[in-house]
Amino acid sequence: MSGGAGTKFALFLAQGGPTRGFVRKPIRKPVKAVNLMQLERLAASPAAGAGKPTIDLSSMGVGKLLGGGVAPKNVEIVVSSWSKRAEEKVKAAGGSIRKP
């Protein structure tokens, strides 16, 4: 038996390899994220109606709001998750964030 084809190690790997000590990390789904600075153009053209303009990011396919940039003033944002910094900036600008 020359070569490594019939060795115990090759048989060990064929059975699935090591079973203790090795942990596979779960596969993460990519989440689309948007910064506050990208909301400026959405807030510039609010929908017709009274009260706070609402930006529904969850219907646009956005999963998370990040705190980069300046928050638009007096806007209600609907998104599934957000960063702590984004929440602070939006509340400081007079707006609010809520889950769908």
CB 83 within 8 A of CB 73: no
Q: Which of 42, 92, 30 is nearest to 67 (CA)?
A: 92
List the domain range (segments joined by +) for residue 55: 29-98
Strand, coil or helix: 76: strand
| Rounded Cα distance, 39 and 21, in Å | 46
Quick one: pLDDT band at residue 7, thresholds 50, 70, 90? Answer: confident
In a domain, 78, yes or no: yes
What is the domain count for the chain? 1
- Answer yes or no: is 43 within a domain: yes
Is the entire prediction scored with pTM above 0.85? Answer: no
Q: What is the pLDDT of residues 8-58, one digit of tens each?
A: 777 677 776 666 666 778 888 899 999 999 988 877 665 545 677 889 999
Residue 5: inside a domain = no
Q: What is the CATH number of the domain that holds 84?
A: 3.100.10.10
Do the domain assignments include residue 2? no
